[in-house]
Structures are given as structure tokens and as C-alpha cells.
Amino acid sequence: MGYLDNLIINTDNYKHCHYPLYPPGTEYVSSYIESRGGAFPVTMFVGLQAYLREYLMRPITLEDIDEAEFVVREQGMHFNRENWMGILNDYDGYLPVEIEAVPEGTVLPASNVLVQLINTDPKYWWVTSFFETALLRAVWYPTTIGTVSWLSKQVIKEALHRTSDHPELLRFMLHDYGARGVSSQQSAALGGLAHLVNFNQSDTVPGILAAKRYYNAGKVSNSGPNSEHAGFCAWGRDGEAAAMRNMLETMAPDGCALLLTDTYDHENAVKNIIGKELNDQIRNFPGLVGIRPDSGDPVQVTADTTEWLMDAFGYETNSKGFKVLPPFIRTVQGDGVTFTSLRAIFIEMERRGLSAENAVFGMGGGLLQHWNRDTMNFGQKANAVRVNGEWRDIAKSPTGSTFKLSKKGRLALKYENGEYSTVARDSIPPEQNVLKPVFRNGKLLKKWDFTEVIANSEREVPESYYIDIVGPMRAADNGAVAAVV
């Protein structure tokens, strides 16, 4: 959909009438982006570099200006051709703005500045806010998905800590199956790469490609042979065991086979076909066999399936007193797994004495699609202007919505004694400002490698960042908690 890439019309129509609304003599406009709080106490910042490289490092052309003028005037909206011809001639089509941002992958409390931008030429004071629509979208979506994924990681980390001897499994326990559940290929790319900051598992190919294209990622993901109902149904109800046997034989060289068990009767498939008829073949399979229910209550079906497999294949008890399936077989739960149900699943497994490592998980729409800008109340707001050589700190303060109170003045992000805080820019030395320039006048000033992004995301953080999320897992009466969740 390259016809949507014209930067001048990658915005709301009304943005074209804003340039004359500033006070006469306006020279510079500063604005910033933050999560103003919401569903989650923290943000894991990621995705800005993809936008910078895909859009702001691509100059506008005369053809872009001509197209935009036609489209915008057709809507009855202002269009200042002189503004855009000036950018084309003065800056070779690149936006005269400087953008500074938090290092990508950083996890920090909500309500802190993440991005700050300002025009670099007083002739183009209006440009700072002009591309807000695209810039805010480029930040809120991958950052929200990255945050959901990061908090899910803390849930899994807590479950492994409580019930498993193998914390090294963490990055392999949540698989991205969200490509079919999102609204666009671009969403799959941005959300998919955000998830890969936290986990090494994905079937969302656009996300893998985006991590490589925009962040120089190497091998970032693992997948394995999985089944779908079409192939199993084709064998007929009486051929369900034959369908599974065929897959085991076909995928043996790959060392992995994930068998769907709910094509007809999940309990019968697990207890009789897998547990009895195919028992020896599974025990002798040269790798991992995953047993994948794809319907039912995910909390109960994950635990039930794990117990039925233990009845058929046995188990060991680890050092923490929890049961663990033999290494050649695991439950694979992907249906109905969401940010909230994942925690409830682990609570139920622990209640039954089952180690968290008995199951691996997949998320689809619950990972990449069930969220919007208001989930974390993202906003971009002007915080300072310079008019006739005089700086003014500005902010909005609506009486009808206190959370929309914006920050005034040029900002900096301070990190001291393990805590982040947003402060006035001139209150700390520049070298202490966590915000770093990443873009200026069409040039990328800092290129984040995917390994750096991952390392930033895995820095130790205060427990307060996630205690509200994992707290129910530590409750004494886990059965009651699971019922409430």
C-alpha cells in the first residue's frame, strides 16, 4: 500500500490548517510523548526506530506535494504549498526536526517522557506537531504490545521461580501467533517485533522481518512443525489416530511435532489415542511432542491435559516439590490465552502441584490486537514554544479530565538511585539526561541494534514495576484467586 506513504497526507486533514494558528513570531515548538497511565504501571519503549527509518529518512518529493495539494484542497482544507516547497528546497525534502528518545527496550514507570521533539529551523515552527498522527501511532502501538509482552514475561518468570528448576526456559515459553488476529500486515510487523524483544518464539513472519530490517536482528525466533484442523479432518473421524501417526512419522527428522487434540473429543484424544495407541511412538520420537488443545476453558484444559499426560507418561518431582512431565512431551496451550488468563493458568497449575514448565503458550489477538491508544493513555502534547525570542512553558489543564493534564516546559528524563523521573531540561546536566538525540533533519543519530534493545529490556527493575501483576500468584489461597480471575 505504497500510496499511503506520502508523509504530507499521512496525517489528519485538519493538521493542514494549524500553521497559522500559532502566535505571530512563533519560532520553535517543542512537544513530547508519554503514556499518561492506564492499564499498566510501566511502559517498555520500542518501535520508534522503525518509523524513523521507514518514513522520516525518506524525503518528500515534488510529486508528494502535488498529490497532497490535490487531496487536501479537495477536502476543503487549507494547504500551504509554500511551506512544503520550502522544506523540499531548503532541506532536500527531509523534515527539519530533532527527535530525542528513551533508549529502546527501556522499561520505566508510566507518566514519564518517552520522546521529545522540536523543529530545528524557526521558519518551520509548525512541523513539530504536523506529523503527530503518524508519530504517536508509531510509538503507542509497539510500545503497548511490548509492554503487554514484558509483563507477561514477568508472570512466566514468577511461575518458573515458584515451581520450576529451569529459569532459563523463560524466553521460550510464549509464542506469537497473532498475525491472523491483527488488522494489518504493518501491525503484525510492529507488534511482532515488540514481542521478540521479550521472547524467542514467533510464527508472525512480518515481526521477524521487521526486527531484521529496522534493528539489524540476527536469529530472533524459533518455531516448529504444528498441525491444523484441515489436515487432521481430512483423515475423517475414524482416522484421527492415523493423522497423528502420520505427523509423527513425517516430522521426526525435524525433532518436533505439535499435535492438535480437539478436532473431535479432546479428552479421548489425549487419554486413548496419545496416551495409549501412540504411547510408544511418542516415547521414541526423536525430539519434542506437543499436545495442543485448541478449545475449552484455557485455565482448566491446560492443567487437565497436563495431568492426563502424566497418567500416561509419568512424571518426576523437582526440587521444589512440583510434578514435571518427561522431557519429550509438553502441553501446548494457545487458544484463549490472554494477558489475564495466562496468570490464572499458572495459578491453577501451581494449585494442582504442576510445574510451570509442563506447558508452553501461544498468544494471538490477545497479544497483538486487544489493545488501543487508550489502554495506556498515550498522548503527544506541546510543552514549550519560543515566540519572538522568548521561551514559554505551555501545558493543557482540562477541568473535565485530570489525567490529561500535560507537562510543561522542555523536559529531561532523570535516572537516579534506580528510579526514573521526568524533570525540567535545565535542572540537570545534559549528560544525565536519559533522553538521547536519535534523529535530526533526515539523519539517524543513533541506531539501536536488536541485541541492545533486548539487553535494555532485561535490565533489573524494581519489583514495584510488576508487583500488581504477579501479586495474585503469591496469594495464600490460590484456588480462590483462580476462581476470581
334 is in an annotated binding site: yes
3-state secondary structure of 422: strand
Question: In the numeric block, which cell numbers belong to residue 93?
Answer: 525534502
For the stretch 444-452, contacts whose Cβ atoms lie closer than 8 Å and that sit 24 or more positions apart, written own/partner, are 444/49, 444/52, 444/53, 444/57, 447/49, 447/216, 448/49, 448/103, 448/104, 448/105, 448/215, 449/215, 449/216, 450/196, 450/197, 450/211, 450/215, 450/216, 450/217, 450/218, 450/220, 452/103, 452/104, 452/105
Pairwise CA distance, residues 151 & 69, whole Å: 45
36 is in an annotated binding site: no
Cβ atoms of 438 and 445 closer than 8 Å? yes
Total number of residues shown for the chain: 485
365 is in an annotated binding site: yes
- Phi and psi at 401, nearest 5°, equal -155, 95
Compute CA 64 distance to the chain's CA centroid, rounded to the nearest angstrom: 32
180 is in an annotated binding site: yes
351 is in an annotated binding site: no
Residue corresponding to grid cell 529490556: 457
292 is in an annotated binding site: yes
Q: For the chain, report the end-to-end CA distance as a whole number of angstroms.
A: 41
449 is in an annotated binding site: no
What angle (nearest 5°) sits at the alpha carbon of residue 82, between those of residues 137 and 445? 45
Number of H helices, E strands in the chain: 17, 18
User: CB 316: neighbour CB atoms within 10 A?
Assistant: 12
373 is in an annotated binding site: yes
330 is in an annotated binding site: no
Q: Which residues are CB-contacts of 397 (< 8 A; sequence separation ≥ 6)?
A: 405, 406
Pairwise CA distance, residues 356 & 62, whole Å: 58
335 is in an annotated binding site: yes
Compute CA 255 distance to the chain's CA centroid, rounded to the nearest angstrom: 30
Binding-site residue numbers are 180, 203, 229, 292-294, 334-335, 365, 373
Binding-site residue numbers for diphosphate are 180, 229, 292
Binding-site residue numbers for beta-nicotinamide D-ribonucleotide are 203, 292-294, 334-335, 365, 373
